[in-house]
Amino acid sequence: MKYWRIIILLLIALTIGITTNGGITGLTDKYTVGDDVRTMLQAIDLPDSYIGDYTKLGFPTTYHLTQFYKVLTNFVDLVLATKIMSVFLYILVALFSYLLAKELKLKYAFIFSLLITLQTGIMFWVFSGGLSRGFAFPLLLAFLYFLIKRNTINYTFVMILQTVIYPPIFIISLGVIGIEFLRKNIAIWKILPVIVPAGLLYFVTPHSTKFGEQVNLIEALHMPEFYSGARAPVFRGDIPFTNSITDTLHSIFNSYNFNISSPFYLDAFFLLGLFSLFVLVIFWKKISLPNELKALTISGIILFILSFVMFSKLYLPSRYIIFTFPIIAIYYISRGLELSLSGKSVFKKTLVVLFVILLAFTFYSPKIENGLVTCDDKELYNYLEKLPKDSLIAAHPRIADCIPLYSSRNVLFMDELSAPYYKIYYTKIKLQIIDFFDMYYSNIDKTKSFCDKYSISHILIDTRHFSKDYVQKGEFYREPFNSDIKISDKFSILEAYATNIGDFKIIKCR
CA distance 233 to 230: 6
Evaluate whether residue 232 is within a structural domain: no
Q: How far are the Cα atoms of 77, 80, 139 from residue 65, in angstroms, in the given order?
A: 15, 15, 15
Report the range of poorest mean pLDDT among 37-41, 233-237, 493-497: 37-41
Q: Is the pLDDT of residue 350 over 60?
A: yes
Q: Is the pLDDT of residue 6 over 60?
A: yes
* Average pLDDT estimate for 492-499: 79
Amino acid identity at 310: M
Mean pLDDT score across all residues of the chain: 81
Is residue 401 domain-shared with residue 308, that is, in the same domain? Answer: no
Q: Is the pLDDT of residue 59 over 50?
A: no
386-400 tens-digit pLDDT: 999 888 999 999 999
Of the chain, the percentage scoring pLDDT greater than 70 comes to 82
- Residues of the domain holding 442: 375-508
C-beta separation of 275 from 263 below 8 A: no
* Average pLDDT estimate for 21-29: 87
* 298 contact partners, CB below 8 Å, separation of at least 6: 175, 179
Is residue 416 domain-shared with residue 356, that is, in the same domain? Answer: no
Q: Is the pLDDT of residue 343 over 60?
A: yes
C-beta separation of 86 from 129 below 8 A: yes
> Which CATH number is 386's domain given?
3.40.50
* 230 contact partners, CB below 8 Å, separation of at least 6: 224, 420, 478, 479, 480
Q: How far are the Cα atoms of 40, 310, 326, 352 from residue 291, in angstroms, in the given order?
A: 38, 28, 17, 29
Is residue 49 domain-shared with residue 126, that is, in the same domain? Answer: yes
C-beta separation of 467 from 491 below 8 A: no
475 versus 200: the higher-pLDDT residue is: 475
Is residue 329 domain-shared with residue 445, that is, in the same domain? Answer: no
Backbone angles phi, psi at 461, to 5 degrees: -115, 130
Is residue 174 domain-shared with residue 51, that is, in the same domain? Answer: yes
CA distance 474 to 121: 35
147 versus 214: the higher-pLDDT residue is: 147
How many other C-beta atoms are found inside a 10 Å radius of the C-beta of residue 278? 13
What pLDDT sits at residue 117? Answer: 94
CA distance 117 to 357: 12
Last residue of a domain, one of 351, 367, 383: 367
What pLDDT sits at residue 47? Answer: 47
pLDDT band at 217 (very low <50, low <70, confident <90, very high): confident
229 versus 196: the higher-pLDDT residue is: 229
Is residue 464 domain-shared with residue 322, that is, in the same domain? Answer: no
C-beta separation of 62 from 131 below 8 A: yes
Q: Is the dihedral of CA 79, 414, 504, 447 positive or negative?
A: negative
Evaluate whether residue 154 is within a structural domain: yes
CA distance 340 to 282: 10
Nearest to 419 by CA among 223, 128, 210, 168: 223
Is residue 348 domain-shared with residue 394, that is, in the same domain? Answer: no
Evaluate whether residue 408 is within a structural domain: yes
Q: Is the pLDDT of residue 471 over 60?
A: yes
pLDDT band at 195 (very low <50, low <70, confident <90, very high): low
C-beta separation of 205 from 167 below 8 A: yes
Q: What SS3 state is found at 76?
A: coil
What pLDDT sits at residue 259? Answer: 47
Q: What SS3 state is found at 326?
A: helix
Q: Is the pLDDT of residue 244 over 60?
A: no
Evaluate whether residue 216 is within a structural domain: no
Q: What SS3 state is found at 501?
A: strand
* Average pLDDT estimate for 169-186: 80
Is residue 382 domain-shared with residue 342, that is, in the same domain? Answer: no
Q: Is the pLDDT of residue 58 over 50?
A: no
472 versus 182: the higher-pLDDT residue is: 472
Is residue 397 domain-shared with residue 446, that is, in the same domain? Answer: yes
* Average pLDDT estimate for 14-23: 90
CA distance 298 to 44: 39
C-beta separation of 473 from 425 below 8 A: no
Last residue of a domain, one of 343, 367, 391: 367
Q: How far are the Cα atoms of 97, 99, 107, 322, 500 from residue 102, in angstroms, in the given order?
A: 9, 5, 8, 22, 62
What pLDDT sits at residue 89? Answer: 94
Q: How far are the Cα atoms of 50, 431, 444, 477 from residue 451, in angstroms, in the given order?
A: 17, 14, 12, 21
* Average pLDDT estimate for 331-358: 89
Is residue 132 domain-shared with residue 112, that is, in the same domain? Answer: yes
Evaluate whether residue 425 is within a structural domain: yes
CA distance 115 to 279: 16
Last residue of a domain, one of 344, 367, 390: 367
Evaluate whether residue 128 is within a structural domain: yes
What pLDDT sits at residue 262? Answer: 55
Global pTM reads 0.87
Domains held by the chain: number = 2
Evaluate whether residue 200 is within a structural domain: yes
pLDDT band at 436 (very low <50, low <70, confident <90, very high): very high
Is residue 419 domain-shared with residue 486, that is, in the same domain? Answer: yes
Evaluate whether residue 225 is within a structural domain: no
Is residue 160 domain-shared with residue 107, that is, in the same domain? Answer: yes
